[in-house]
Structure 1
Amino acid sequence: MTVNLTSTQILAGVGVLLIALAVWRFGARKARRAADAARASARVVSLAGRVLFTGAAFVGVQWLVITHPGNPTLLLVVLGVPDLIAAHVLTRALTVTSLDTTRRGGGRR
């Protein structure tokens, strides 16, 4: 069996293959961007959940100590520790210690 193709048919076939490859690569990039966006939003939701849970735990312990008075040292500790933690977190978040840049390739330049 012999296949006789003209140069136009061969160029058309190569063109179709190139278009298919371009569509596939575009779809892969779009899927990667969508996955990155989903990961970023999941991080925000996860962080918000942890912040709400920790805040509720602090409020619960503080409420318990305030409603059952008797030890002023315990009261000062329970009210002071969350402030120290918040001050530490805010100081670290607002302090720039280094320029964090990532290089692709991992080599020296």
Structure 2
Amino acid sequence: MTVNVPMLPLLAGFGVLLALALMWRAGRRRAKAAAEAARTGVRLVSLAGRVLLGGAVMLGVQWLVVTHPDNTTLLVGVLAVPDLFAAYVLTKALTVSAIDAPVRRRGGQR
């Protein structure tokens, strides 16, 4: 028994399989890029949240001490110490603290 398959349908079938494989790879790359972009956005929002929370805590303590100015040393300390925290937070926020490794296109991790 001999099977006679015409060349055109055979080539069309291989073409369809190749197109599906290429579409699958492109979708995978796009998904990786979207995940990396989401991770970067989350880092920024997380840092902003920590800065705002720290600022709110410092403001609350300062307000409490300023409304009761009985002790001058405590007043100066409460106004000076948050400046150190603010300087630290600003320095950390404006300094690159993580180096993201470049994504390898072929071969994965080495």
TM-score, structure 2 as length reference:
0.75
* Cα root mean square deviation, aligned: 2.7
1:5/1:24 CA distance change after superposition, 3 Å: same
Q: Unpaired segments of 5 or more residues in structure 2?
A: none
TM-score, structure 1 as length reference:
0.75
Q: Percent identity between the aligned chains?
A: 59
Aligned to 1:14: 14
Question: 1:44 & 1:66 partners in 2: Cα distance?
Answer: 33
Question: For residue 43 of structure 1, what is the amino acid of its counterpart?
Answer: R
1:26/1:101 CA distance change after superposition, 3 Å: closer
2:67 matches 1:64: no
Residue correspondences, number: 103
SS at match of 2:69: coil
Matches within 5 A, 1:1-109: 3-91=3-91, 102=101
1:41/1:8 CA distance change after superposition, 3 Å: same
